[in-house]
C-alpha cells in the first residue's frame, strides 16, 4: 500500500476496504475471539487454539481472528461466529472443550447452540436467529451508548483497514480541512470535559495551549491508568488504538504541535504492543509523519512506558517521568499548557478524551452535546467491579443514575446480599450510600453528593464489606504511592492510616475521628497535587455516610460486617438454619456441630472467625455478632457484652 | 559462595540504542533490568559512565519507580494483585497460601531463588478478580490451591 496523498485517497481506500469486508462477510465464515487482557486471562488464547485445531481437523474453512473487549468481562472468553447471510452470534464463557461442538453444530450444520450463547448482533438485511436475544435486548447493553468504545470488540485492533472502514481517520481529514481555531471552537461547543476525572473543558485547554508562546509544542496522552479497579483506558488502548492516534493528531493540529507522547503504564504490555503496531501502520499510510493527507501538517508520535508510580497519573509528574526524572509533581501554575514537557507548551489529556475527539469532529459538536446533560455532555465510561453481577466495562450517557447503572446495567448485587456502597473515582474518590443512588452520574452531581467522577472506576460493595477496612485499604494504597515531596501528603497519609489501623484493630479512640477530619482538611488544602489533596477522600466520604460503623469499632469493639479480625463472633441463627451441613463441612476447625436438618451451632471456643462458614451459607443464616468471650471486667466492651 | 564478576556486555547495545534520545533514563534502566533481572550496582555505575548522568540521579530514578529492583530475584516471579476488586475477592488468602507453601514473603524470594513474590495494585483485569500473574501468564479467578499447584510444577 502506498501513502495517502490527499483526503480522496483515504476515501477511496475506505470504500475499497468496506467493499472487501462486506464481500468477506458474505462469503467467508469467521470466528472472532475477544483477546483483551481480560479475555486472555480467562483463557481466550487456548480457546482460539482449540477452535483452529477443530477447524483443520474437520477441514472447515473459516478464519479465526482476535478482537478487543466488548466489556462483558464476567462472561469471557467470548467467541463470535459470523456465517455468510446469518447474524453475528456471541458465545459466552467458552471453554476449549466446547470448540468441537461449536464447529460441528454451528459452523458445519448451521445450528446455533442457543443455550451457550450470550446474544446476537442485529445486522441490516439479515434475518435474526430465533431464541437468542439481541445485544440491545440485554439489560447490560440496553442503556449503553458507545462513543469511546464504539469499535472495541467490533474491529480487529491490529488492522488499520478495519478502523478506516469504520470511518476511521475521517475526523482527522475533516479537521485538516478546517482552521485550527475552528477545530478548537467545535471542541468547546461540544462541551467535552476531560475524562481523566478533573472535568476541565477540553476545548478550553487546547485554546490555552494554542495561545501559549513557545515552540515546539507537545500533545501528551495520559494513559497511566493507575486506579486499582479501573481498566477503561486499557480497553480502549487494546481494543481501538487508532482512535487515540487520530484524536491526538487532531489535537496536535489544533494547538500547533508536531510531536506527541503517549505515556502508558508498564503494566499494560498488550496495550503498548498494539499502540506501537498502530503507529507503524498509520505511518505506512501517511496518516502520521510528514505532510499528512497533503495538508502540510506533520505529526510524530512516541510511546513512553511508565515504570510503576501511581503519582505519574498527575500531569506534572507524568511530564517529569517522560523527561526521565523521578515522577514528582510540581506546583501549578504554570500549567503544562504554558510550560510543560521540556518547559514547552504541552497539552495533556486522558485516553478517552482523545478517543472521543474524532467522533466529535466528524459528527459535530451538536451531535455530541445532544447526548448526556447540559453541563456534562456525552458519555461516561466505567469499569464496573466489586460485588456486582455483571462486572465489566460500560459506556453510558451522562445523567444516568447510579441506581440504573448498578441494578439495570450491572444486574444488581449477587448472592441475595444487600447493597452497601458504591465507590467512584478510585482511591482518590469517595463512596456513596444507598440513599444517594438516585444521583445522576455527571461531574457536578457526583461531586456535590460527596464522591467524584474520577476517571471511571466504579466499585460496588455489599453488606460484607467493612467501610472502615475499605477506607483503610484505599489509604494504604494512596499513602504508599505518595511521592514524599510535600509534607501534608507524606505525613498526613501516614497519620490517617495509623488512625484507621487502630480503629480497625478495635483500639481506636473517639478523638481519632476528630483527628482524621482535621488531618484530612489540611491535606486537602495544603498538598501540592491532586494525589495528596484527594487521598483523604475515601475516608472522609465513608466517615460522612457510615459514621455508625466507625463508632461501633471504637465504642463496642465490634465490626458489624464481620471483617475486622477479633472484633466479632459468628453465630448461626437457629430459626434461619435448616441444618444443611454446608457450614459444618467448610469449617477448618471442626467448630460447628449439629444433627442433619437441625439448626447447627458454632463452638465459640474453637472458632477462629475465618469466615468459611459465612461464605458457604446460601441462606444467610450466619451472622457476625458482638464478641461472646468474656472481656476484662470494667472495660467498655465488657459492659456492652454484659448488656447483651 | 564465590560471586563471579558481572558481565556488563549487554549494556553496550542498550546505551548505543538510546544514544541520541532525550530523557531516555527510564527505558535504559528498563532494558538493563531485562538483561540482568535486576539493577546491580555495577550496571548502574556503568550506565552513569556511559550516559554522563550522575549515579545518584540514576539511583534516585531507580528507587522511585516500583518496577525497578536493586536486589536479585527468583527465577519465577509471582505477582499477586491486591487492587480493589481483587482485595474484595480474597487476594490476601492467595498471598498467605503462597507464603506458606513456597516459603516466600511478599517482596522477597525463597532461599533457593526459585520464586519471588510481589504484591501489585491492579493489573486492569478486575472483571476476573482475583488475579495473579506468574512470569507473563495471567491467571484469572484464582484459587490459592490451584495456583500453588501450578507454581510447584515450574522448573
pLDDT in tens, A467-507: 999 999 999 999 999 999 999 999 999 999 999 999 999 99
Tell me if chain A has a CB within 8 Å of the CB of B127: yes
Per-position DSSP letters for B46-84, written without gaps between them: HHHHHH---HHHHHHHHHHSTT--SS---SEEEEEE-SH
Closest by CA position to A154, among listed A54, A36, A280, A262: A36
Neighbours of A216 (CB within 10 A): 13
Neighboring chain A residues of B131 at a CB cutoff of 8 Å: 41
Which residues make up the CATH 1.20.1440.230 domain(s) of chain A?
468-555
Is the domain defined by A569-625 classed in CATH 3.30.70.20? yes
What rounded mean pLDDT belongs to chain B?
88
Residue contact B127–A391, C-beta within 8 A: yes
Distance of CA B95 to the CA centre of its chain: 16
- A75: number of CA atoms within 13 Å, CB side? 21
CA distance B100 to chain A (A): 17
Positive or negative torsion for Cα A629, A634, A639, A642: positive
Residues A481 and A500: their CA atoms lie apart, in Å, by 17
Instruction: Give the pLDDT mean for A283-305.
Output: 97
Q: What CATH homologous superfamily does A20-135 map to? A: Glutaredoxin (3.40.30.10)
pLDDT for residue B109 is more than 60:
yes
pLDDT in tens, A502-535: 999 999 999 999 999 999 999 999 999 999 999 9
Which residues make up the CATH 3.10.20.600 domain(s) of chain A?
379-465
DSSP class of B130: S
Which one has a higher pLDDT value, A228 or A399? A399
Picking from A72, A317, A324 by the largest number of B CB atoms within 10 A of its own CB, the best residue to mutate is A324
The residue of chain B nearest to residue A69, with distances taken between CA atoms, is B125
Tell me if chain A has a CB within 8 Å of the CB of B126: yes
Neighboring chain B residues of A309 at a CB cutoff of 8 Å: 64-66
Tell me if chain A has a CB within 8 Å of the CB of B139: yes
- Of the segments A428-437, B68-77, B137-146, which one has the largest average pLDDT value? A428-437
φ, ψ dihedrals at A311, nearest 5°: -65, -20
Residue contact A228–B125, C-beta within 8 A: no
Task: Tell me the CATH number of domain B76-153, given options 3.40.50.2300, 3.40.30.10, 3.40.50.10600, 3.60.15.10.
Answer: 3.40.30.10
The shortest CB-CB distance from A41 to any of B29, B67, B125 is to B125
> Of all helices (H) and strands (E), which one includes residue A305?
strand A300-305
pLDDT in tens, A233-271: 999 999 999 999 999 999 999 999 999 999 999 889 999
The shortest CB-CB distance from B84 to any of A41, A228, A392 is to A228
Residues A473 and B88: their CA atoms lie apart, in Å, by 10
Task: Tell me the CATH number of domain A468-555, given options 1.25.40.10, 1.20.1440.230, 1.10.3720.10, 2.40.50.140.
Answer: 1.20.1440.230
CA distance B2 to chain A (A): 33
The residue of chain A nearest to residue B57, with distances taken between CA atoms, is A325
Residue contact A40–B138, C-beta within 8 A: yes
Closest by CA position to A249, among listed A182, A307, A193, A170: A170
Q: Is A398:A376 a contact under the CB 8 Å cutoff?
A: yes
Tell me if chain A has a CB within 8 Å of the CB of B123: yes
CA distance A554 to chain B (A): 23
Residue contact B84–A473, C-beta within 8 A: yes
User: Which parts of chain B fold into alpha helices (H)?
Assistant: 10-17, 25-36, 41-51, 55-64, 84-88, 91-102, 144-153
The shortest CB-CB distance from A473 to any of B87, B122, B124 is to B87
B 41-100 near A (Cβ less than 8 A)? 60-61, 64-68, 82-85, 87-88
Residue contact B122–A267, C-beta within 8 A: yes
φ, ψ dihedrals at A87, nearest 5°: -70, 160
Q: What is the pLDDT of residue A41?
A: 82
Which residues make up the CATH 3.40.50.11540 domain(s) of chain A?
168-369
Is the domain defined by A379-465 classed in CATH 3.40.190.10? no
Neighboring chain B residues of A459 at a CB cutoff of 8 Å: 84-85, 88
The residue of chain B nearest to residue A304, with distances taken between CA atoms, is B27
Question: Hunting for cell 510481589 — which residue is that?
Answer: B118
- Examine residue A333 and say whether the peptide bond preceding it is cis (omega within 30 degrees of 0): yes
Picking from B39, B93, B127 by the largest number of A CB atoms within 10 A of its own CB, the best residue to mutate is B127
- What ipTM was assigned to the predicted interfaces of this complex? 0.84
DSSP class of B20: T
Per-position DSSP letters for A107-172, written without gaps between them: IIT----GGGEEEEE--TT-PPPTT--BGGGSHHHHT---STTTTTTTS-TT-HHHHHHTTTTHHH
Residues in Cβ contact with A54 at an 8 Å cutoff, skipping those fewer than 6 apart: A60, A99, A100, A102, A103, A104
Residues in Cβ contact with A370 at an 8 Å cutoff, skipping those fewer than 6 apart: none
Cell of A237: 488502548
Region of residue A456 (left: phi > 0; alpha: psi -120 to 50; beta: else): left
Picking from A229, A237, A466 by the largest number of B CB atoms within 10 A of its own CB, the best residue to mutate is A229
CATH class of A168-369: alpha beta
Residues B72 and B63: their CA atoms lie apart, in Å, by 15
**Among A178-182, A192-196, B124-128, which is the least confidently predicted range?**
B124-128
pLDDT in tens, A129-177: 999 999 999 999 999 999 999 999 999 999 999 999 999 999 999 999 9
Residue contact B30–A307, C-beta within 8 A: yes
Q: Is A220:A318 a contact under the CB 8 Å cutoff?
A: yes
Tell me if chain A has a CB within 8 Å of the CB of B135: no
CA angle A476, A73, A134 (to 5 degrees): 145
The shortest CB-CB distance from B24 to any of A324, A385, A393 is to A324
Q: What is the pLDDT of residue A1?
A: 60
Closest by CA position to A88, among listed A118, A49, A123: A123
The shortest CB-CB distance from B124 to any of A231, A327, A328 is to A231
φ, ψ dihedrals at A405, nearest 5°: -65, -45
Instruction: Name the packing angle between helices A269-284 and A232-239 (round to 10°).
Output: 40
CB pairs under 8 A between A and B: 133
The residue of chain A nearest to residue B69, with distances taken between CA atoms, is A307
Polymer length in residues for chain A = 644
Claim: this prediction has a pTM higher than 0.95: no
pLDDT band at A30 (very low <50, low <70, confident <90, very high): very high
Residues in Cβ contact with A576 at an 8 Å cutoff, skipping those fewer than 6 apart: A619, A620, A621
Closest by CA position to A279, among listed A253, A309, A300: A300
Tell me if chain A has a CB within 8 Å of the CB of B22: yes
Residues A575 and A195: their CA atoms lie apart, in Å, by 51
Dihedral angle of Cα A612, A614, A616, A619, to the nearest 10 degrees: 170
Residue contact A307–B25, C-beta within 8 A: no
Positive or negative torsion for Cα B94, B97, B98, B104: positive
Neighboring chain A residues of B25 at a CB cutoff of 8 Å: 324-325
Region of residue A296 (left: phi > 0; alpha: psi -120 to 50; beta: else): left
Amino acid at each position: 500500500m502506498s501513502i495517502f496523498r490527499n483526503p480522496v485517497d483515504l476515501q477511496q481506500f475506505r470504500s475499497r476496504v468496506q467493499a472487501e469486508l462486506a464481500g468477506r462477510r458474505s462469503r467467508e465464515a469467521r470466528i472472532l475471539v475477544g483477546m483483551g487482557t481480560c479475555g486472555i486471562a480467562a483463557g481466550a488464547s487456548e480457546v482460539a487454539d482449540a477452535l483452529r485445531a477443530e477447524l483443520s481437523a474437520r477441514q472447515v474453512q473459516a478464519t479465526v481472528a482476535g478482537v478487543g473487549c466488548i466489556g462483558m468481562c464476567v462472561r469471557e472468553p467470548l467467541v463470535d461466529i459470523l456465517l455468510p447471510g446469518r447474524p453475528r452470534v456471541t458465545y459466552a464463557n467458552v471453554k476449549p472443550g466446547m470448540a468441537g461442538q461449536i464447529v460441528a453444530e454451528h459452523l458445519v450444520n448451521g445450528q446455533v447452540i442457543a443455550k451457550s450463547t450470550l446474544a446476537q448482533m442485529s445486522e441490516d438485511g439479515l434475518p435474526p436467529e430465533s431464541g437468542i436475544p439481541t445485544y440491545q435486548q440485554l439489560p447490560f447493553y440496553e442503556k449503553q451508548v458507545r462513543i469511546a468504545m464504539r469499535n472495541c470488540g467490533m474491529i480487529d485492533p491490529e488492522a488499520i483497514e478495519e478502523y478506516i472502514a469504520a470511518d476511521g481517520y475521517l475526523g482527522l481529514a475533516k479537521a485538516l480541512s478546517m482552521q485550527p481555531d475552528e477545530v478548537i471552537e467545535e471542541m468547546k461547543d461540544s462541551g467535552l470535559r476531560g475524562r481523566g476525572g478533573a472535568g476541565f473543558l477540553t476545548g478550553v485547554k487546547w485554546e490555552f495551549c494554542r495561545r501559549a508562546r513557545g515552540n515546539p509544542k507537545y500533545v501528551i496522552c495520559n494513559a497511566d491508568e493507575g486506579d486499582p479497579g479501573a481498566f477503561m483506558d486499557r480497553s480502549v488502548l487494546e481494543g481501538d488504538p487508532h482512535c487515540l492516534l487520530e484524536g491526538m493528531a487532531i489535537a496536535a493540529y489544533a494547538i500547533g504541535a508536531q510531536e506527541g507522547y503517549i505515556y502508558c503504564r508498564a503494566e499494560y504490555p498488550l496495550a503498548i504492543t498494539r499502540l506501537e503496531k498502530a503507529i507503524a501502520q498509520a505511518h505506512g499510510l501517511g496518516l502520521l509523519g510528514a505532510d499528512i493527507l497533503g495538508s502540510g501538517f506533520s505529526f510524530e508520535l512516541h510511546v513512553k512506558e511508565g515504570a510503576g508510580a501511581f503519582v505519574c497519573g498527575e500531569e506534572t509528574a507524568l511530564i517529569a517521568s517522560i523527561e526521565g526524572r523521578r515522577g514528582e509533581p510540581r506546583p501549578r501554575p504554570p500549567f503544562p499548557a504554558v510550560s510543560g514537557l521540556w518547559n514547552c507548551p504541552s497539552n495533556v489529556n486522558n485516553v478517552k478524551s482523545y478517543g472521543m475527539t474524532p467522533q466529535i469532529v466528524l459528527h459535530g459538536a451538536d451531535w455530541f452535546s445532544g447526548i448526556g446533560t447540559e453541563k456534562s455532555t456525552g458519555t461516561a465510561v466505567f469499569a464496573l467491579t466489586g460485588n456486582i453481577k455483571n462486572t465489566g466495562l460500560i459506556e453510558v450517557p451522562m445523567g444516568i443514575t447510579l441506581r440504573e447503572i448498578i441494578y439495570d446495567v450491572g444486574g444488581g448485587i449477587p448472592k441475595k446480599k444487600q447493597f452497601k456502597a458504591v465507590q467512584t473515582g478510585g482511591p482518590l474518590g469517595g463512596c456513596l450510600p444507598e440513599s444517594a443512588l438516585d444521583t445522576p452520574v455527571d461531574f457536578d452531581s457526583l461531586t456535590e453528593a460527596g464522591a467524584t467522577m474520577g476517571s471511571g472506576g466504579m466499585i460496588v460493595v455489599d453488606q460484607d464489606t467493612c467501610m472502615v477496612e475499605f477506607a483503610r485499604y484505599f489509604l494504604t494504597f494512596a499513602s504508599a504511592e505518595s511521592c514524599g515531596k510535600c509534607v501534608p501528603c507524606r505525613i498526613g497519609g501516614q497519620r490517617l492510616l495509623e488512625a484507621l489501623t487502630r480503629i480497625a484493630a478495635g483500639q481506636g479512640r473517639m478523638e481519632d475521628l476528630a483527628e482524621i477530619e482535621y488531618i484530612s482538611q489540611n491535606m486537602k488544602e495544603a498538598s501540592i497535587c491532586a494525589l495528596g489533596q484527594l487521598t483523604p477522600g475515601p475516608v472522609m466520604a465513608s466517615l460522612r455516610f457510615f459514621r455508625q460503623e466507625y463508632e461501633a469499632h471504637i465504642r463496642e469493639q465490634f465490626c458489624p460486617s464481620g471483617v475486622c479480625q477479633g472484633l466479632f463472633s459468628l453465630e448461626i441463627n437457629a430459626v434461619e438454619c435448616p441444618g444443611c451441613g454446608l457450614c459444618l463441612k467448610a469449617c477448618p476447625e471442626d467448630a460447628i456441630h449439629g444433627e442433619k436438618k437441625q439448626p447447627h451451632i458454632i463452638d465459640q471456643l474453637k472458632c477462629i472467625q475465618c469466615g468459611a462458614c459465612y461464605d458457604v451459607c446460601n441462606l444467610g443464616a450466619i451472622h457476625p455478632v458482638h464478641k461472646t468471650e468474656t472481656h476484662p471486667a470494667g472495660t467498655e466492651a465488657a459492659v456492652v457484652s454484659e448488656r447483651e | 559462595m564465590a560471586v563471579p564478576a558481572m558481565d556488563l556486555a549487554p549494556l553496550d547495545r542498550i546505551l548505543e540504542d538510546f544514544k541520541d534520545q532525550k530523557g531516555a533514563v527510564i527505558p535504559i534502566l528498563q532494558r538493563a533490568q531485562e538483561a540482568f533481572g535486576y539493577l546491580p550496582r555495577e550496571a548502574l555505575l556503568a550506565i552513569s559512565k556511559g550516559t554522563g548522568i550522575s549515579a545518584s540521579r540514576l539511583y534516585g530514578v531507580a528507587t522511585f519507580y516500583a518496577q525497578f529492583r536493586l536486589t536479585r530475584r527468583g527465577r519465577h516471579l509471582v505477582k499477586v494483585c491486591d487492587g480493589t476488586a481483587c482485595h474484595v475477592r480474597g487476594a490476601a488468602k492467595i498471598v498467605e497460601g503462597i507464603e506458606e507453601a513456597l516459603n516466600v514473603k511478599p517482596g522477597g524470594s525463597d532461599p533457593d531463588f526459585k520464586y519471588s513474590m510481589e504484591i501489585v495494585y491492579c493489573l486492569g483485569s478486575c472483571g476476573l478478580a482475583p488475579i495473579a500473574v506468574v512470569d507473563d501468564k495471567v491467571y484469572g479467578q484464582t484459587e490459592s490451591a490451584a495456583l500453588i499447584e501450578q507454581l510447584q510444577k515450574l522448573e
